[in-house]
Structure formats: structure tokens, C-alpha cells
């Protein structure tokens, strides 16, 4: 393995861990309210009208989706990373609609770029979970020594 391959593999693993743990923790906090005492003030009225129930119910739905997204990154980073990037895109739009949270939207844009970087690495050989092709011929298809 070359140094660049090793570095890319390490970057892939760090991003995979980050985008597994962060969405799960943020999702769990929608129920625990440790990071903030009221997640609902981050929810725009436009997005709230798309979700069933009141803002508290909407944030519970958001929490479940975030937990699921983190689990998908852990199990299938090729797809989970794109899911998280799309989710972050939605959060950015939502925050800009609420107003006054441009700094958080900009931070989430950086996170979205990180999730897209994870997707790129996951779809490369670095993130491949497939084994290298075998050099041994399948049974019944052995080649003769002379060929």
C-alpha cells in the first residue's frame, strides 16, 4: 500500500466514524435536549408545515431520521454518506429560511462537503468492501500449464 493510499484509507475511516457518530448523537439529542433546550426554534415554519403534528413531533421525526442516517453510514457508507449530505443540504435550506442562523448554515455546508468527500472515497477503491479478485481459477476451469 502506498503512502497516499494509506492516507486516503485513514481519511475514509475518520470521515466514516464522524458521519456515523455525529448524526446518531444529534438524533438522540432531539429526545434528550442536552445540546440545546429547544430544538424547535431551529425549525422553519415552511418545513414544519410539511411534517405531521407540531414542532416537537417534527423534531422527534428529525431525530429518528438522523439516527437512521448515522446507522446507514456505518453499514453502507457509499449510500449513507450521500443520504447525510442530502440531509445537511435540507438543514441548510431550513436554517436560511428561519433566518439568523447563517453561521450554522455555513458550518453545515462544510459538513456537507465532508459527507460528499466520504461518498467519493467510499465509491473509490479506498472505500471498497469487496475483496480483490482471486488469482485462483474456479473449480473445473483450471488452466493447463502449457497455456
pLDDT for 95-119, tens place per residue? 999 999 999 999 999 999 999 999 9
What is the pTM (predicted TM-score) of this model? 0.81
d(CA 93, CA 27) in angstroms, rounded, equals: 19
Q: Is residue 66 part of a domain?
A: yes
pLDDT of residue 143: 53
Instruction: Tell me the three-class secondary structure of the chain, residue by residue.
Output: CCHHHHHHHHHHHHHHHHHHHHHHHHHHHHHHCCCCCCHHHHCCHHHHHHCCCCHHHHHHHHHHHHHHHHHHHHHCHHHHHHHHHHHHHHHHHHHHHHCCCHHHHHHHHHHHHHHHHHHHHHHCHHHCCCCCCCCCCCCCCCCCCCC
Q: Is residue 142 part of a domain?
A: no
pLDDT of residue 2: 73
pLDDT of residue 34: 95
Q: Which portions of the chain are predicted below pLDDT 50?
A: 131-136, 147
pLDDT of residue 130: 53
Rg (CA), the chain: 21
pLDDT of residue 129: 57
pLDDT of residue 5: 82
Q: Is residue 134 part of a domain?
A: no
Q: Is residue 145 part of a domain?
A: no
Q: Is residue 131 part of a domain?
A: no
pLDDT of residue 27: 97
In total, how many domains does the chain have? 1
Residues 6+ apart with CB under 8 A from 43: 55, 58, 59, 62, 94, 98
pLDDT of residue 141: 57
pLDDT of residue 131: 46
Contact (CB, 8 A) for 93 and 56? no
Q: Is residue 9 part of a domain?
A: yes
Segments forming the whole domain that contains residue 53: 3-125
Q: Is residue 84 part of a domain?
A: yes
Neighbours of 2 (CB within 10 A): 7
pLDDT for 84-98, tens place per residue? 999 999 999 999 999
Q: Is residue 146 part of a domain?
A: no
Burial of 13 (0-12, 13-18, 19+ CB in 10 A): middle
Amino acid at each position: 500500500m502506498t503512502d497516499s493510499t494509506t492516507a486516503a484509507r485513514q481519511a475514509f475511516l475518520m470521515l466514516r466514524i464522524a458521519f456515523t457518530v455525529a448524526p446518531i448523537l444529534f438524533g438522540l439529542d432531539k429526545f434528550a435536549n442536552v445540546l440545546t433546550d429547544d430544538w424547535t426554534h431551529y425549525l422553519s415554519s415552511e418545513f414544519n408545515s410539511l411534517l405531521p403534528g407540531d414542532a416537537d413531533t417534527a423534531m422527534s421525526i428529525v431525530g429518528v431520521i438522523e439516527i437512521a442516517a448515522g446507522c446507514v453510514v456505518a453499514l453502507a457508507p457509499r449510500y449513507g454518506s450521500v443520504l447525510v449530505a442530502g440531509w445537511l443540504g435540507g438543514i441548510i435550506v431550513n436554517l436560511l429560511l428561519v433566518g439568523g442562523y447563517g453561521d450554522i448554515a455555513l458550518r453545515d455546508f462544510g459538513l456537507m462537503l465532508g459527507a460528499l468527500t466520504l461518498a467519493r472515497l467510499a465509491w473509490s477503491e479506498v472505500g471498497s468492501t469487496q475483496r480483490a479478485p482471486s488469482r485462483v481459477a474456479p473449480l473445473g476451469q483450471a488452466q493447463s500449464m502449457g497455456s
